[in-house]
Amino acid sequence: MAETVADEDLKLTPLHDLHIELGGKMVPFAGYSMPVQYKLGIMGEHQHTRAKAGLFDVSHMGQAVLIGPDHETTAKALEALTPSNFVELGHGRQRYTVLLNEDGGIIDDLMVTRPLDPNDDGRLLLVVNAARKDVDYAHLHAKLPETVKLEVVDDRALIAVQGPEAVAAVATHAPAAAELGFMSAAPMEFDGIACHIARAGYTGEDGVEMSVPAGAAEAIARALLADDRVEAIGLGARDSLRLEAGLCLYGHDIDETTSPVEGNITFCMQKRRREDGGFPAADRIQKELTEGTDRIRVGLRLDGKAPAREGAEIALPGGDVIGILTSGGFAPTVGAPIAMGYVPADHAIEGTQLELIVRARRLPATVAAMPFVPNRYYRKPKA
């Protein structure tokens, strides 16, 4: 997870001093100094998030705004670069999507929100991966029409609060957060501080992601951490939580060589886009949707307790190598090792017996449904 970067070259988030104060073990990640764990440890942090609420500093992520003359113009400009439906995205609604290259590979995966206020029509809010910010922004600048501009937001922090008690903890300070449904967002005040809060996250749990003024981030984090339900959580538990949720990590489970169909994330493609195309490599992707693809991302459960990590080979029992792992580790909630990787489509059926080659040992594994742990996203009751 860490990468080799000289300490003096690392960027700091607005919560850096707080991480140090809390005993965070800092590591280089996507060009930033980030906490991999705190005193509770990765296992403890993981379990606390599943039981109560975890606070994650995700300020290294990129925040930006697309600005056009009206919603349809801006939405169509983004639709030309992604396979998702933004024209029909409702006010205050959020959608997961992917930027595609000309071959149908994934440049990045990102979150897109249409502001709640109709006066903000023509704007779409973006959150992109930290390690892909420069690539994404350059691509958007090059591909957007003259009528739509990209404005990078660099004066805000991003704080995620995840877990079954996360929203209740946030609502103590921002009552309107409790009214949000999954994948919806709205501007609101947190103890009088103007924020933008979305009910979403990267753990499979209920929770929110809060875009806040950089200068107020520490005060907001401290207010939340003063709640007994909330603990600071580092990158280690963030990774094990998202793996249990069956969620992709860019640069590992998906990248520029992977199509959305291969990556098994076709939920980002709504019916109109699947049928009408109009996005990069639409012919290839539509063909994969109807005829299948040679390889696909699957979940794997391992027998025993020994985990398999990214890069391990996937093989037929006693036979040839047929694929490779892209993520893997011990799943605290499952109580066993799990993994994700790519295999030929005819070996992707749930229950298929395979082997993972770890240090010349063959570990039995079974293709399993994802998520590995049931998600607990909040769906508002229909009126």
**Coil, strand or helix at 117:** coil
Rounded to whole angstroms, how far apart are CA atoms 252 and 288? 21
Report the DSSP pairing between strands 53-57 and 230-232. Answer: parallel
pLDDT band at 381 (very low <50, low <70, confident <90, very high): confident
Q: What is the mean pLDDT of residues 114-139?
A: 98
Query: What would the pLDDT profile of 225-284 be if each residue is shown by its tens digit?
Result: 999 999 999 999 999 999 999 999 999 999 999 999 999 999 999 999 999 999 999 999
Burial of 9 (0-12, 13-18, 19+ CB in 10 A): exposed
- Residue 40 is which amino acid? L
Dist. CA 291–CA 76, nearest whole Å: 27
Q: Is the bond leading into 371 cis (omega within 30 degrees of zero)? A: yes
Radius of gyration for the chain, computed over Cα atoms and rounded to the nearest angstrom: 21
Contacts of 183 (CB under 8 A, 6+ apart): 93, 94, 95, 198, 199, 200, 377
Residue 156 CA to residue 63 CA, distance in Å, equals 8
Identity of residue 194? A
The predicted structure's pLDDT at residue 383: 61
Q: Region 123-133: what's the mean pLDDT?
A: 98
Which candidate, 381, 7, 14, 43, places its Cα nearest to that of 179?
A: 381
Give all domains of the chain, ordered by start, each with its CATH number. 7-59+155-244 (3.30.1360.120), 294-368 (2.40.30.110)
For 66-116, the pLDDT digits (tens) are 999 999 999 999 999 999 999 999 999 999 999 999 999 999 999 999 999
**In one letter, which amino acid is 52?**
K
CA distance 137 to 144: 10
Count Cα atoms within 13 angstroms, Cβ side, for 319. Answer: 6
DSSP 80: T
Instruction: Tell me what the mean pLDDT of segment 170-192 comes to.
Output: 98
In 3D, which of 351, 355, 343, 382 has the Cα closest to residue 368? Answer: 351
Q: Where do we find the tokens 């929770």?
A: 207
Q: Which pLDDT does position 7 carry in this prediction?
A: 66
Length of the chain: 383
Q: What percent of the chain has pLDDT over 90?
A: 96
pLDDT of the residue at 4: 39
Global pTM? 0.96
Please determine, for residue 290, whether its predicted confidence score (pLDDT) is greater than 50: yes
Residue 74 parent element (H or E): helix 71-79
CA 145 vs CA 155, 257, 280: distances in Å:
26, 26, 15
pLDDT at 170 over 60: yes
